[in-house]
Amino acid sequence: MADVDVCPICNSTVDDWSHALINCNMVKCVWSLLEEDLVEHVIACNIPDAKLWLLEMVDSTKEEEFLKILVTLWATWWVRRKAIHEQEYQSPLSTYCFTEKYLNDLALISAKEEKPPAVVPSRMDLGSRRTWAPPVRGCAKLMVDAAISKNHEKGAYAVVCRDEKGVYQGASAVVVEDQVTAEILEALALASDLNRTKV
Ligand SMILES: [Zn+2]
């Protein structure tokens, strides 16, 4: 803890959180590299309580703007500590570039997380170039097909069950001696075996 109420960077006699993170000469140079409208908004809000100030920022900015404010506050705090306690100085441009890179990395991570679940192609999908579409949330999807042999003596039906993420749950295949008419019943039987009530 500092024992004097003077900013060690610019000798200002007011050294509270808003001076350290927004108004000190050193951090002003970082803020000046951000979008003018956003910086004006940050400076115009003069609520003395840090927590209330942050709440006001959450309410009055878009999500990406608020994120930019937070990362800039965090980076300037780190740079300021380095300068005061370790006499290591970083240029405002380096700090600004760090925040930009950090925000870009965050955006990349969120984009990856929002990707739809991977689609598992089945043999049938590959043949017809159709893509498996996930079912409604919370439901399992049963894909069923049936075929009859060329001489019409035998038939078969098969059913595959996947959950909403395309994860294989189970399958069933039956060869029958007569005409194939029960594929839907087989699908429902599989659903019951797998304990899936929503299909
Ligand atoms: Zn200062």
Query: 49 alpha carbon to ligand 1 midpoint, in Å?
Result: 19
Query: 146 alpha carbon to ligand 1 midpoint, in Å?
Result: 77
User: Which residues, given as ranges, of the chain have pLDDT below 70?
Assistant: 115-130, 178-181
CA–CA separation, 98 and 77 (whole Å): 13
Query: 9 alpha carbon to ligand 1 midpoint, in Å?
Result: 5
Q: Which amino acid, 36? A: E
Over residues 89-122, the pLDDT tens digits come to: 999 999 999 999 999 999 998 888 876 666 655 5
Query: 173 alpha carbon to ligand 1 midpoint, in Å?
Result: 76
Query: 24 alpha carbon to ligand 1 midpoint, in Å?
Result: 4
Q: Which two tokens stand for residue 108?
A: 């990349």
Over residues 124-141, the pLDDT tens digits come to: 444 555 677 888 888 888
DSSP 37-63: HHHHHHHH---SSHHHHHHHHHHHS-H
Query: 65 alpha carbon to ligand 1 midpoint, in Å?
Result: 25
CA distances from 134 to 48, 80, 126, 199 (A): 51, 50, 16, 11
Reported pTM: 0.56
